[in-house]
A and B are shown apart, each in its own frame.
Chain A
Amino acid sequence: MRARVLIRPKAGILDPQGEAVQRALPALGFAGVSNVHIGRLVELDVDDPDELESMCEKLLANPLIEDYEVQLLGPSSD
């Protein structure tokens, strides 16, 4: 199974990268941009998708500071 894990900084935690990008976009002429946050993306093939939750808790994310979301994408890629 191909899976995608989206990892985001928890709401309310200062996100300096997001702030920097939010300030950069208007400078390029893109108006009306707010709430920019930057996280990580992990894509992986797994034999047992039931293990993804535990993988996130133990390694892929740090639940103290990050939220994660698992998406199942379909058959493994070769």
Chain B
Amino acid sequence: MRFGVLQFPGSCDEVDALLAARRVGEAELLWHGERDLRGVDAVVVPGGFSYGDYLRAGAIARFAPVMEAVTEFARKGGLVLGICNGFQVLCEAHLLPGALLGNANRRFTFRQVQLEVVRGDTRFTSACAAGDASPMGPPPPPAILSIPAKHSWGRYYADASTLDELEAAGQVVLRYAPGDNFNGSLRDIAGVCNTEGNVFGLMPHPEHAVDPLTGSTDGLCIFESMRLAVEGARV
């Protein structure tokens, strides 16, 4: 299993994403100017401030050469995970529905959030369901994930009919637990996937919650789920 982690000018969480991915497989950085994904099995669009977040977060990054390859990769069913700024990029690229607006509290906010795993059966969350232990893997994380969030533009928005469709189709994968929706996301949505289930984005940072040193390892199950999806598919 080999992850490719994109790197834009202004990315800042690509190294943590790389190190998190390496806990479950191999991982390498893919520079934004490249058009070749070098045969990776999954792509991570990391957090940060790609292209300075000029105009709108993700608005310019979505036109980077590497994003053409990522779009093609996603169309063929490849797994794409967008974290924070990566989520914003995937929304701007129309690989995911909706958009991210300025936090309702008007502040950059950095805090631990509890996330309800609404869908524990996706290719990004299959190892996150409560009691779903893998014999070789870490102890099973709970169906509530404790993961840090840090952003100014994390208020998930889509119009009411789109939100209804997302909920009906099971595309709402993660929600902020009661009291943790500090950014004002509609219907407490923290993470969504596309209709095919191979592209997933979330505002909180699973790559920052993979080591007991920093308080939680709940983020690891996202990467482990992706590994299971890819290596299961190969057998």
**A residues adjacent to B (C-beta < 8 A):** 9, 13-14, 16-17, 20, 40, 59-60, 62, 64-65
Contact = CB atoms under 8 A, between A and B. Distances in A.
B104 A14 contact: yes
Nearest to B102: A16
Nearest to A61: B56
A59 B184 contact: no
Closest 5 CB pairs of A and B: A16-B106, A65-B99, A64-B99, A16-B104, A62-B99
Given A14-B104, A64-B159, A65-B157, 15 more contacts: A13-B101, A13-B157, A14-B155, A16-B105, A40-B55, A59-B59, A59-B60, A60-B55, A62-B56, A62-B59, A62-B92, A62-B99, A64-B99, A64-B157, A65-B101
B52 interface: no
Contacts of A13: 101, 157
A9 B105 CA distance: 17
Nearest to B100: A65
B196 to A, nearest CB: 20
Interface centre among A9, A13, A64 (most CB of B within 10 A): A64
Interface residues of B, number: 19
Main secondary structure of the interface of A (DSSP, over half): mixed
A47 to B, nearest CB: 21
Contacts, number: 34
Contacts of B63: 59
B106 A17 contact: yes
Nearest to A16: B106
Contacts of B101: 9, 13-14, 65
B106 A20 contact: yes
Given A13-B101, A16-B105, A16-B106, A64 B55 contact: no
A64 B59 contact: no
A36 B61 CA distance: 30
A57 to B, nearest CB: 12
B50 interface: no
Nearest to A66: B56
A18 to B, nearest CB: 11
A16 to B, nearest CB: 5
B133 interface: no
Nearest to A20: B106
B201 to A, nearest CB: 15
A24 to B, nearest CB: 12
Contacts of B104: 14, 16
